[in-house]
Amino acid sequence: MKKIFFSKILLILIVSMFFRYWLISNNQVYFWFDQARDANISQSIIYNHDFKIQGPSASGTKDTIYHGVLYYYLLSPIYYIFQGNPFFVTLFFGLINSFSVVFLYIISKKIFENEKIALLSSFLLAINFEHSQYSTWLSNPMMGLIPTLIFFLSIWMIFYNKKRTYVLKWMILMGFSLGLIEQSAFYSIYFFGVIIVGLIYLSKKLKTSFYKIFSIKEILAFLFVYILTISTMLVNQFLLFKAGIFTFKVFEDAVGHSSIWKNPRLVIKLFDTFLTKFVSTISPNLPLFGSIILLITFFVLIKKVSNPKKIFLLSWFTAPLWLFIFHFRSSSHMLLGLEYMLIITFSFIIYLFIENKNIFIKGTAIVLFIAYILLQFNAVIMIRNNDSSIFTFQNGVMLKNELKLIDKTYQLVNKEPFSISIWGSPYEYYITWAYLYHWYGKQKYGYVPSYFGTSQSGKYGENLLKQKDHPEQLHFLIEEPGVYLVGDIYKQFIAKQNSFSTIVDTNSSLEDGFEIIGEYRLQFRNKIQ
């Protein structure tokens, strides 16, 4: 029996790995400013011994709060091993996060005590489009995928399991996993709400006070491991506080405007965010079908799932509300990890329907199962065809297009020196292209271009390319897609280019002297003598 079990899990794991590989194959990797910045910073740890205690800045906090630095230390050796290649780094983390199917099997088996539901949950996660996107997203939240499962497994074993055994070990694991989640994204502090719900449930079940549930040793073990895991974050915020950068007033100004308490109209956006998450997980690109399944899910969850399963799953589903009440953001990654709960519940629904004696209900289960599979595969096909990602507002910012553009510049100059100017996002930051030329261009062609544009002094990767106050004889203007700034900034940018260089007409020019490569625009220019 054990061999059969391991064979099934191994097969699902292999499917999971191939599905994620398929998503990013042929350099279909989302690579933009954040990814280039993190690649540069993480490699400087090894090459320059530039050790860090500050992670990436948390969006929406005006650079007053930072995520954990652990992400950089995870990236560092992987980038070193793969010599700076973002594709292999992405593939590595995609394969590691594929093991989420194993952890989801374990937690599903613990909850329902049913191997069929557990295997189904594991399989549905293996081919889940959204989780595959998160698994291959070179960004700090990706680091929290497996720790989230470990955390909720700990929650179940501590508060909801029939037999409360090895509580101390589970408390340590809960503290460690919660710390890792916090390192991946500071806002994950809302998971403490799940602990509070568990405490209330267990207190009522045992008919005892909160402070009598755990021993001092167990509480201290949890706190010690948790604080130790997030210690670099605490030190960083303390140093920012001493420097006057992080203050409670600044923090309140950064997040207070999005509080549901202060702006009740955000409730509508809150509902939309949850609905979007559910649709993205269960039925990507088919919102009506997803909305119907959502109603069925809640009906089954409330009517057919018994306590404590119901309380546990609902506490998981509503966990983000602990944060959104005070700071609401509609970013998809704010609900990271919720897909696990949705898949577990959806698997239970399919199992419940398939076990029903009514042929119509059995047929419905089969339709739901097949529809889920088709929708997940279709979502991957569509996003690959569109050169897009669920995380970007800039379609086409894929590594494959960027490398094609870089190859084109070297082909046109025929081994001659050249310079580049960038119209990109964020405006006046060249790190994306500086990193790609330094890693790919230098490795393949033996040299890199110089940079003509605003000073990069004090910015990320300032020494990757030589900066000049005039272009080379051969010059390129690179325009990223979806970069729109107010006023006449773009006109001024083009005027400066025209004051130093003229457009070279090539056979492949399509519009205004620009060659279209994916969603990028490349313009070949000559310096004015």
Q: Is residue 359 part of a domain?
A: yes
Residues 329 and 444 placed together within one structural domain of the fold: no
Helices 86-97 & 2-24 angle (0-180, nearest 10): 150
**% of the chain beyond a pLDDT of 70:** 93
Residues 313 and 424 placed together within one structural domain of the fold: no
Q: What is the dihedral of CA 6, 93, 177, 327, to 10 degrees?
A: -130
Which of the listed residues 325, 359, 385 is the one where a domain comes to its end? 385
Q: Is residue 146 part of a domain?
A: yes
Report the chain's terminal Cα–Cα distance, integer Å: 79
Looking at residue 465, its pLDDT comes to: 96
Looking at residue 459, its pLDDT comes to: 92
Instruction: Evaluate whether 398 touches 387 at the Cβ level (below 8 Å).
Output: yes
Mean pLDDT of 61-71: 85
Q: Is residue 394 part of a domain?
A: no
Confidence at 101, pLDDT banded by 50, 70, 90: very high
Looking at residue 412, its pLDDT comes to: 94
Mean pLDDT of 95-118: 96
Residues 486 and 362 placed together within one structural domain of the fold: no
Residues 381 and 404 placed together within one structural domain of the fold: no
Q: Is residue 393 part of a domain?
A: no
Residues 158 and 280 placed together within one structural domain of the fold: yes
d(CA 389, CA 376): 14
Residues 289 and 361 placed together within one structural domain of the fold: yes
Q: Is residue 392 part of a domain?
A: no
What stretch of H or E contains 503? strand 501-503
Q: Which residue has the higher pLDDT, 386 or 263?
A: 386
Q: What is the pLDDT of residues 340-396, one digit of tens each?
A: 999 999 999 999 999 998 999 999 999 999 999 999 999 999 999 988 888 877 788
User: Does residue 6 have a pLDDT over 80?
Assistant: yes
Instruction: Evaluate whether 42 touches 77 at the Cβ level (below 8 Å).
Output: no
Mean pLDDT of 400-420: 96
Looking at residue 194, its pLDDT comes to: 94
Mean pLDDT of 127-144: 95
- Grouping H, G, I as helix, E, B as strand and the rest as coil, residue 318 is coil
Q: What is the pLDDT of residues 200-256, one digit of tens each?
A: 999 999 888 888 899 999 999 999 999 999 999 999 999 988 888 887 776 666 555
Domain count, the chain: 2
Q: Is residue 390 part of a domain?
A: no
Which of the listed residues 359, 385, 411 is the one where a domain comes to its end? 385
Mean model confidence pLDDT for the chain: 90
Q: Is residue 357 part of a domain?
A: yes
Residues 355 and 436 placed together within one structural domain of the fold: no
Query: Residue 422 sits in which domain range?
Result: 399-527
Looking at residue 342, its pLDDT comes to: 93
User: Does residue 507 have a pLDDT over 70?
Assistant: no
Which of the listed residues 361, 385, 409 is the one where a domain comes to its end? 385
Residues 419 and 356 placed together within one structural domain of the fold: no
Residues 328 and 432 placed together within one structural domain of the fold: no
Neighbours of 447 (CB within 10 A): 12
User: Does residue 155 have a pLDDT over 90?
Assistant: yes
DSSP for residue 356: S
Residues 247 and 359 placed together within one structural domain of the fold: yes
Q: Which residue has the higher pLDDT, 266 or 110?
A: 110
User: Does residue 261 have a pLDDT over 80?
Assistant: no
Looking at residue 394, its pLDDT comes to: 76
Q: What is the pLDDT of residues 291-318, one digit of tens each?
A: 888 888 888 888 888 889 999 999 998 8
User: What letters, b where the CB count within 10 A reaches 16 and e where it falls short, cover 297-330?
Assistant: beebbeeebeebbebbbbbbbbbbebbbeebbbe
Residues 465 and 376 placed together within one structural domain of the fold: no
d(CA 411, CA 418): 11
User: Does residue 2 have a pLDDT over 60?
Assistant: yes
Residues 513 and 457 placed together within one structural domain of the fold: yes
Q: What is the pLDDT of residues 9-38, one digit of tens each?
A: 999 999 999 999 999 999 999 999 999 999
Residue positions counted in the chain: 529
Q: Is residue 391 part of a domain?
A: no
User: Does residue 323 have a pLDDT over 80?
Assistant: no
Mean pLDDT of 99-118: 96
Looking at residue 485, its pLDDT comes to: 83
Helices 192-206 & 145-155 angle (0-180, nearest 10): 10
d(CA 206, CA 199): 10
